[in-house]
Amino acid sequence: VTLTEMAFFWPALAGYGVATFLLLLSLASRKENLLRGGRNFLRAAFILHTAALALRWYQTGHMPGANIYELSSAGAWCTILAYQILLARYRHMSFIGPPLLLISLAMLLQGVSRSGSMGPLSEEYQSLWFYLHAVAAFLAYACYAIAAAAGILILGDSRLRPRMANLPGPELLLDMNSRFVAHGFFYHAVMLTSGSVWADSAWGRYWGWDPVETWSLVAWLLFAFHLHSRRFLGWNGKRLAWLTLLALSSVFLAFWGVSHLPA
Amino acid sequence: MHRRESETWGSLTEDDVRQGTAHYYAYCEQVDEQIGRILDALDAGGQAEDTFVAFTSDHGDMMGAHRMWIKSWMPYEEIYRMPLVIRMPGSAAGACDHLVQTHDIPHTFLDLLGLPALSLRLDKVRPGENEGEGFRSLFVSAAAGKTISTLESRPFNPISVGGYRIHQKEQGRSPRLRLIDGGGREVFNAFVALRARAAKEEPGYEDFFTIPESGYRIDVSMGPREASPSGVRVTVTGPEEEIFRGSVSLGEPVSVGAYTLGLDEVRNWASFRVVRDKGQLPLFLGFLLGITGIGLRVFSTCRWVTVLIEPDKAGALVTVTGWAEREEALLGEEIAMLIVELKGDDPLPLAGKAWQGRGHRAPRGGRPVKAEGIDL
């Protein structure tokens, strides 16, 4: 990781931290200017983060996504972009902010703690399928992160509601959760199939049951269960929130946990 | 040729012939015992009933016939008649008088397994000069032996030929090691296929093997391919302790406990996956269909929104009504935003109450009212 890139990355990280703090404060104190401040910090940090990623792209000559650092950074970027779109489209989305930003910060810190060595894409990555696969993965995880943030608010509803007047109603939170699980599920399916086609062109087999593939499939099936359980089993609120977090943890296991587990 | 061969072996005495014959029988017994071990292992592993076992050779032995020994170069029956015994699960014992040749065997087995006949052969695989470069040339031949293609293969870049795709899978180095005991008996003499180490580790190749009768474990490793292949690093561990750790160079055997360990030569090895996948197109279409289906289900939802604008004394009364097939609360949120936009207020904080009739079907065919000229 070069110094110039880090000159953008660390301030961005700090900006996200401050934005998270201000958003939390504004929700607790209901002060408008804290909220505006939080959003402005978020926007500024996002611009810096975009610059860091663009620099990375320029320097390596390929889309970020070749190692854990690049994956985490681009994944968090997509998540925060999705949050900005949400803020523009719905009211009360500030509430999603703190849990979502905490998930993104965890991703960024985890990524920057791992080797981010820069280099040309290795032979197996030099495929158009890689781009489709990686972009679909980023979109899927951004959606899942938003669903999980809504899930965290559902779980903390009884404690948060007395303190936060504008907290979206439980139905809206559950709708957010379901909607973004569904969107993530679609991108996840694109990711799995494009990955499978890519694996076939690189190795001659569609599926190899390696831990990353397997955990990714487990996550997809858990989210499929989530989508069906609301409609067909009548599951609601906290159960679905827990299920989202469980499925998201399986995504984390696929991406970040596998390399730390014994083979 | 006949005379030269006869003269080569003509000086053997009767004792030499007796000893040679005894050795031949001893070899037969040894082979018999080892084949027995394989069959026992198949029985013990429960694989005997779904495994074809063939015992054959590539030539016979003159065994003193026509005053010749070993395989010779002369076309005698002793050389050309060789054993071919096949054990097939569920098949009765029997003998066959047909002329059979060794190159019939792979086709026979493919036929028994219900697989298509071989129609291409990989030949003359040459590794690139540098690590990770893959293979320079890959000669692909048709079954008849005629070269149909000369191709370069690199990892992750399969080559397509004759309806097949050839994927380069793994490659490594293969030193031939020889272990000789104190009595001069060879206890091991084989190529050891070393595999590349995992990408994150120091580049190189490694593997280990064991010598059952001594309980030795022999770990072998080599550096990356561009390094000189003059030696291998070896660690020999006995049943209780490490016996040897060091390098073994080509043609310079070292003493390892009660044995002598030598390195005879170093070769490269590679494995390929050859795929004939006629189901690729239907599979891709299936993927596409599945993705489209999920996309339609996820991104299309039935919603009904009616905006009713009625003039009143103050200006106009705007009523927005909506119905959604699912996720109604989200629709309510979107309608609230719409109202905010119509009112021109700052969306934060929003005075609610704009969302009416949630959960009810909107009235169809509501009167269209032109919004022009109405002061909102």
ipTM: 0.86
Identify the residue whose tokens are 């004792």. Answer: B15
pLDDT above 70 coverage of chain A, percent: 92
**pLDDT of A223:** 95
- Count of C-beta atoms within a 10 Å radius of residue B192: 20
- Compute φ and ψ for B22, nearest 5 degrees: -60, -40
Asked if the model's pLDDT at residue A21 lies above 70, the reply is: yes
- Compute φ and ψ for B222, nearest 5 degrees: -140, 160
Is there a cis peptide before residue B158, judged by omega within 30 degrees of 0? no
- Of B170 and B120, which is predicted with more confidence? B170
Name the residue among B158, B297, B298 with its Cβ closest to that of A204: B158
**pLDDT of B37:** 93
At how many degrees (to 10) do helices A32-60 and A68-89 cross? 140
Asked if the model's pLDDT at residue B85 lies above 50, the reply is: yes
Give the pair of three-digit tokens for residue A233. 């089993």
Asked if the model's pLDDT at residue B353 lies above 60, the reply is: no
Closest CA to A155 of A63, A233, A256, A246: A246
- Nearest-CA distance B300 → chain A (Å): 11
Geometric angle at alpha carbon B350, from B349 and B351, rounded to 5° = 125
Q: Does B347 touch chain A (CB under 8 A)?
A: yes
- Nearest-CA distance A119 → chain B (Å): 15
Question: What mean pLDDT is predicted for residues B236-242?
Answer: 88
Question: Sorting pLDDT into bands at 50, 70 and 90, what band is A245?
Answer: very high
Q: Does B159 touch chain A (CB under 8 A)?
A: no
Closest CA in chain B for residue A184:
B298
* CA dist., res. A47 & res. A245, Å (int): 29
Question: What mean pLDDT is predicted for residues B348-353?
Answer: 34
Decide if A203 and B273 are in contact by the 8 Å CB cutoff.
Answer: yes
Name the residue among B156, B298, B337 with its Cβ closest to that of A91: B337
Name the residue among B167, B298, B332 with its Cβ closest to that of A204: B167
- Chain A partners within 8 Å of B167 (Cβ): 202-204
Decide if B330 and A186 are in contact by the 8 Å CB cutoff.
Answer: no
**pLDDT of B361:** 38
Q: Does A174 touch chain B (CB under 8 A)?
A: yes
Q: Does B283 touch chain A (CB under 8 A)?
A: yes
**pLDDT of B253:** 92
**pLDDT of B31:** 93
**pLDDT of B367:** 36
Q: Does A205 touch chain B (CB under 8 A)?
A: yes
Tell me which of A155-159, A248-252, B158-162 is least confident. B158-162
Its sign, for the CA torsion B113, B117, B122, B123, is positive
Q: Does B122 touch chain A (CB under 8 A)?
A: no
Decide if B167 and A185 are in contact by the 8 Å CB cutoff.
Answer: no
Tell me which of B144-153, B195-204, B293-302 is least confident. B144-153
- Count of C-beta atoms within a 10 Å radius of residue B292: 10
**pLDDT of B226:** 57
- Chain A partners within 8 Å of B336 (Cβ): 91
- Of B116 and A187, which is predicted with more confidence? A187
Asked if the model's pLDDT at residue B144 lies above 70, the reply is: no
CA–chain centroid gap for A97, Å, is 12
Question: What mean pLDDT is predicted for residues B275-287?
Answer: 88
Asked if the model's pLDDT at residue B135 lies above 60, the reply is: no
Q: Does A91 touch chain B (CB under 8 A)?
A: yes
Asked if the model's pLDDT at residue B336 lies above 80, the reply is: no
Tell me which of A171-185, B231-245, B295-309 is least confident. B295-309
Name the residue among A90, A123, A203 with its Cβ closest to that of B154: A123
Asked if the model's pLDDT at residue B227 lies above 60, the reply is: no
**pLDDT of B344:** 59
Geometric angle at alpha carbon A29, from A25 and A31, rounded to 5° = 90
Asked if the model's pLDDT at residue B369 lies above 50, the reply is: no
- Nearest-CA distance B326 → chain A (Å): 8
Closest CA in chain B for residue A227:
B298
- Of A246 and A114, which is predicted with more confidence? A246
Asked if the model's pLDDT at residue B356 lies above 70, the reply is: no
Closest CA in chain B for residue A224:
B294
Question: What mean pLDDT is predicted for residues B276-293?
Answer: 91
Tell me which of A74-78, A199-203, B240-244, B362-366 is least confident. B362-366
Question: What mean pLDDT is predicted for residues B318-325?
Answer: 77
Question: Sorting pLDDT into bands at 50, 70 and 90, what band is B65?
Answer: confident
Closest CA in chain B for residue A165:
B349
**pLDDT of A250:** 87
Tell me which of A54-63, A180-189, B28-37, B191-200 is least confident. B191-200
- Of B303 and A137, which is predicted with more confidence? A137
pLDDT digits (tens, 9 = 90+) for A201-212: 888 889 988 888
Name the residue among B165, B297, B334 with its Cβ closest to that of A204: B165
Give the pair of three-digit tokens for residue B104. 């019939």
Question: Sorting pLDDT into bands at 50, 70 and 90, what band is B350?
Answer: very low
Instruction: Enter the pTM of the model.
Output: 0.70
Q: Does A212 touch chain B (CB under 8 A)?
A: no
Q: Does B322 touch chain A (CB under 8 A)?
A: no
Say if CB B58 and CB B107 are below 8 A apart: no
Give me the total of CB pairs closer than 8 Å, taking one residue from chain A and one from chain B. 85
Decide if A193 and B290 are in contact by the 8 Å CB cutoff.
Answer: yes
Residue A19, CA distances (Å) to A100, A207, B18 in order: 11, 42, 95
- Chain A partners within 8 Å of B291 (Cβ): 186, 189-190, 193
Q: Does A193 touch chain B (CB under 8 A)?
A: yes
Name the residue among B169, B284, B337 with its Cβ closest to that of A89: B337
Question: Sorting pLDDT into bands at 50, 70 and 90, what band is B332?
Answer: confident
- Chain B partners within 8 Å of A132 (Cβ): none
Q: Name, in order, each residue with C-beta under 8 angstroms of A106's C-beta and a sequence gap of 6 or more.
A: none
Asked if the model's pLDDT at residue B357 lies above 60, the reply is: no
Closest CA in chain B for residue A166:
B349
**pLDDT of B347:** 41
Residue B211, CA distances (Å) to A220, B218, B259 in order: 47, 8, 11
Decide if A186 and B337 are in contact by the 8 Å CB cutoff.
Answer: no
Helix, strand, coil % in chain B, rounded to nearest 5: 25, 35, 40
**pLDDT of B36:** 94
Question: Sorting pLDDT into bands at 50, 70 and 90, what band is B372?
Answer: very low
Strand pairing class (B84-87; B120-127): unpaired
Report chain A's mean pLDDT, rounded to a whole number: 86
Decide if A197 and B284 are in contact by the 8 Å CB cutoff.
Answer: yes
Its sign, for the CA torsion A169, A172, A178, A180, is negative
Question: What mean pLDDT is predicted for residues B28-49?
Answer: 92
